[in-house]
Homo-oligomer: A and B are copies of this chain.
Amino acid sequence: MIRVWIAGATGYAGAELVRLLLGHPQVTVVGLASERHGGLPVAAALPGLAGVADDLVLHEGVLPPAGLRADAALLALPPGPAMTAVPGLLEAGVRVVDLGPDFRLGDPETYFAWYGRQHQAPALLGRAVYGLPEWFGDALPGARLVANPGCYPTAAVLAAGPLVRAGLAAPDGIIVDAKSGLSGAGRSPAAELHFAEANENVRAYQVGGTHRHTPEIEQALEHLAGRRVRVTFTPHLVPMTRGILATLYASLNRPIDVAGLVEIYRAAYAGAPFVRVLDPGRLPATKAVLGSNFCDLGLAVDGRTGRAVVLAALDNLGKGAAGQAIQNLNLMFGLAETAGLRLAAVYP
């Protein structure tokens, strides 16, 4: 059994880690930490866990207490604390999957430009594996530090990857218009996340290429394209709890029909158990992936304008966060990629 420590366990991504790992046959959760609820029994902060995980308590802070042995730490933290904690964890022999953004960007200057703070562990940036298994999975077995992708970049890169890799898309002609449920904005109350404000409301935020996931998307696609890529990315909030639907527009370099696209995508994701490329004419919906680790892809071609339209649906807390972190954990430790993750979506 792999002994796992979870920091940030009472945020939404952390809570999903706990929920999923309780059903993982080869993982034991040995401890949880919560900045806000440290010291409480877990069911006080996460009432749904009563009767399921009564033996777990919430520690304070980020690091496991002395004497608690863990093989891996899963960090579900805001920008900052992870890059302070990771060096010590690695030195102590604890392997890390960081669900936050601190180790996603390879270049400390890019990190500074987008996150407005100096990176505290720049030497580790080059050693972190970008944990999108479908494209960067070869580096995962044995990896000690994995940067789990952001929810939007997971959808965007899975949607764009085959096009970009095949050289089908103009590298400056990619637009990603993403619609997210409100759990993506976290558990802290805020005016614009207040039910009566967010319900029956749709709005964009951080428009004009200013969202921090933009450089992450571009970095991943540049690896696949082997050249510079520029993306216009616009996130939106829609009145639901979970789910992301990303709509990708790409100018095609050469004519292709939907069947051709589907073929390319199915080849690209042939060995990927969590990517479902839908038949021509079928379109994804977030409900079909709710609570699961799947990303569904639907393809269309707008022949009149020469564009491909790619739809990607995932659960922002599943394949967009906790599910993918467990997928990474599995691959790091040589387990089956799908261990603990063969869950059907909750329906309806």
Q: Across the interface, do B196 and A194 meet the contact criterion of CB distance under 8 Å?
A: no
Per-position 1/0 for A314-348, Cβ under 8 A of B: 00000000000000000000000000001111111
A50 to chain B: which residues have CB within 8 Å? 276, 288, 294
19 contacts between A and B (CB under 8 A): A15-B348, A18-B344, A47-B296, A181-B200, A182-B195, A187-B348, A196-B348, A197-B348, A200-B200, A201-B286, A202-B243, A203-B283, A203-B285, A208-B300, A208-B303, A232-B305, A236-B247, A238-B239, A239-B239
CA distance A240 to B38 in the complex (A): 32
A311: Cβ under 8 A from any B Cβ? yes
Q: Across the interface, do B207 and A283 meet the contact criterion of CB distance under 8 Å?
A: yes
A104: Cβ under 8 A from any B Cβ? no
CA distance A224 to B214 in the complex (A): 33
Known: A187-B196, A200-B200. 16 other contacts (CB 8 A): A48-B287, A50-B294, A52-B342, A179-B202, A179-B238, A183-B196, A200-B240, A201-B243, A204-B245, A204-B311, A207-B300, A208-B258, A230-B304, A230-B305, A239-B239, A239-B240
CA distance A302 to B286 in the complex (A): 28
How many copies make up the complex?
4
A51: Cβ under 8 A from any B Cβ? yes
A110 to chain B: which residues have CB within 8 Å? none
B-binding residues in A (CB < 8 A): 12, 15-16, 18-19, 22-23, 46-53, 172, 175, 177, 179, 181-183, 185, 187-191, 193-205, 207-209, 230-232, 234, 236, 238-243, 245, 247, 249, 258, 273-274, 276, 283-292, 294, 296, 298, 300-305, 307, 309, 311, 313, 342-348
Nearest CB in chain B: distance from A52 CB, A: 5
Q: Across the interface, do A209 and B284 meet the contact criterion of CB distance under 8 Å?
A: no
Nearest CB in chain B: distance from A266 CB, A: 13
Q: With A51-B273, A345-B48 as known contacts, state yes or no: A309 contacts B238, CB within 8 Å.
A: no
